Amino acid sequence: MTRQARTSMLFSVTGAAIMLAFTLNAFADVDADAAKKLARKDSCLRCHDARKKKEGPSFQTIAYKYKGQPDALDKLVKHITSGEDRVKLSDGHEELHKFDTTTDTVRIRNLIGWILAQ
Protein backbone atom coordinates (compact mmCIF):
# COMPACT_ATOMS: atom_id res chain seq x y z
CA MET A 1 0.00 0.00 0.00
CA THR A 2 1.30 3.44 -0.80
CA ARG A 3 1.81 5.88 1.98
CA GLN A 4 -0.91 8.08 0.57
CA ALA A 5 -3.41 5.23 0.50
CA ARG A 6 -2.56 4.35 4.08
CA THR A 7 -3.03 7.94 5.24
CA SER A 8 -6.34 8.24 3.46
CA MET A 9 -7.53 4.94 4.92
CA LEU A 10 -6.54 6.10 8.37
CA PHE A 11 -8.57 9.26 7.88
CA SER A 12 -11.68 7.46 6.80
CA VAL A 13 -11.44 4.99 9.69
CA THR A 14 -11.00 7.86 12.15
CA GLY A 15 -13.88 9.69 10.50
CA ALA A 16 -16.15 6.67 10.80
CA ALA A 17 -15.20 6.22 14.45
CA ILE A 18 -15.98 9.84 15.21
CA MET A 19 -19.33 9.63 13.42
CA LEU A 20 -20.16 6.47 15.30
CA ALA A 21 -19.26 8.09 18.61
CA PHE A 22 -21.58 11.01 17.83
CA THR A 23 -24.41 8.74 16.79
CA LEU A 24 -24.08 6.62 19.89
CA ASN A 25 -23.82 9.71 22.03
CA ALA A 26 -27.12 11.07 20.72
CA PHE A 27 -28.91 7.95 21.89
CA ALA A 28 -26.78 7.16 24.91
CA ASP A 29 -28.55 6.67 28.19
CA VAL A 30 -28.43 9.73 30.33
CA ASP A 31 -26.58 9.71 33.61
CA ALA A 32 -29.59 9.74 35.92
CA ASP A 33 -27.60 10.17 39.13
CA ALA A 34 -25.76 13.21 37.80
CA ALA A 35 -29.06 14.65 36.51
CA LYS A 36 -30.81 14.25 39.87
CA LYS A 37 -27.87 15.70 41.73
CA LEU A 38 -27.81 18.76 39.49
CA ALA A 39 -31.59 19.19 39.72
CA ARG A 40 -31.27 19.24 43.50
CA LYS A 41 -28.23 21.49 43.60
CA ASP A 42 -29.64 24.07 41.19
CA SER A 43 -33.02 24.07 42.96
CA CYS A 44 -35.07 22.70 40.07
CA LEU A 45 -36.65 20.37 42.63
CA ARG A 46 -38.01 23.32 44.56
CA CYS A 47 -40.62 23.67 41.81
CA HIS A 48 -40.43 20.36 39.99
CA ASP A 49 -40.81 16.72 40.91
CA ALA A 50 -40.31 13.72 38.65
CA ARG A 51 -43.94 12.63 39.03
CA LYS A 52 -45.93 15.23 40.99
CA LYS A 53 -46.97 18.69 39.93
CA LYS A 54 -45.52 21.38 42.18
CA GLU A 55 -45.18 25.04 41.14
CA GLY A 56 -43.96 23.69 37.84
CA PRO A 57 -45.15 20.69 35.84
CA SER A 58 -43.71 17.27 36.75
CA PHE A 59 -40.79 16.07 34.64
CA GLN A 60 -43.08 13.30 33.43
CA THR A 61 -45.59 15.88 32.14
CA ILE A 62 -42.80 17.79 30.40
CA ALA A 63 -41.49 14.58 28.80
CA TYR A 64 -45.01 13.76 27.62
CA LYS A 65 -45.46 17.24 26.15
CA TYR A 66 -42.27 16.96 24.11
CA LYS A 67 -42.59 13.31 23.14
CA GLY A 68 -41.67 12.68 19.52
CA GLN A 69 -40.09 16.10 19.04
CA PRO A 70 -36.48 15.51 18.05
CA ASP A 71 -35.50 19.14 18.65
CA ALA A 72 -36.94 19.20 22.19
CA LEU A 73 -33.56 18.79 23.87
CA ASP A 74 -31.99 21.71 22.00
CA LYS A 75 -35.08 23.83 22.43
CA LEU A 76 -35.32 23.32 26.18
CA VAL A 77 -31.60 23.74 26.77
CA LYS A 78 -31.75 27.05 24.93
CA HIS A 79 -34.88 28.06 26.84
CA ILE A 80 -33.45 27.37 30.29
CA THR A 81 -30.01 28.84 29.59
CA SER A 82 -31.22 32.05 27.94
CA GLY A 83 -31.29 33.72 31.36
CA GLU A 84 -34.42 35.59 30.27
CA ASP A 85 -37.15 33.04 30.82
CA ARG A 86 -39.44 33.91 33.74
CA VAL A 87 -41.96 31.70 35.46
CA LYS A 88 -45.02 32.95 37.27
CA LEU A 89 -45.73 31.22 40.56
CA SER A 90 -49.07 30.59 42.25
CA ASP A 91 -48.67 33.53 44.62
CA GLY A 92 -48.29 35.82 41.60
CA HIS A 93 -44.61 36.62 41.88
CA GLU A 94 -42.21 35.93 39.04
CA GLU A 95 -38.81 34.34 39.12
CA LEU A 96 -36.10 33.84 36.58
CA HIS A 97 -36.14 30.27 35.32
CA LYS A 98 -32.51 29.31 35.15
CA PHE A 99 -29.62 27.35 36.57
CA ASP A 100 -28.17 28.83 39.76
CA THR A 101 -24.65 27.53 39.61
CA THR A 102 -24.10 25.56 36.43
CA THR A 103 -23.07 26.86 33.03
CA ASP A 104 -21.65 23.53 31.90
CA THR A 105 -23.77 22.67 28.84
CA VAL A 106 -22.81 19.00 28.98
CA ARG A 107 -24.32 18.66 32.45
CA ILE A 108 -27.31 20.83 31.54
CA ARG A 109 -27.99 18.72 28.44
CA ASN A 110 -27.73 15.60 30.55
CA LEU A 111 -30.33 16.92 33.00
CA ILE A 112 -32.74 18.03 30.26
CA GLY A 113 -32.19 14.68 28.50
CA TRP A 114 -33.07 12.90 31.73
CA ILE A 115 -36.20 15.04 32.17
CA LEU A 116 -37.26 14.14 28.63
CA ALA A 117 -36.74 10.45 29.41
CA GLN A 118 -39.22 10.47 32.34
Q: In sequence order, which residues have a C-beta less than 8 Å from that of residue 6 and are 6 or more positions away?
A: none
d(CA 49, CA 11): 47
Residues in region 20-49 near ligand HEC by CB under 6 A = 42-44, 46-48
Residue environment code for 84-100, b if the CB has 16+ CB neighbours within 10 A, otherwise e:
eeeeeeeeeeeeebbbe
| Closer residue to ligand HEC (CB): 36 or 97 | 97
Q: With contacts defined by CB under 6 A, name the span among 9-17, 19-27, 28-36, 75-83 that binds ligand HEC.
A: 75-83
Question: Site for ligand HEC (CB under 6 A): how many residues?
Answer: 21
77 near ligand HEC, judged by CB under 6 A: no
Residues in region 96-115 near ligand HEC by CB under 6 A = 97, 99, 111, 115
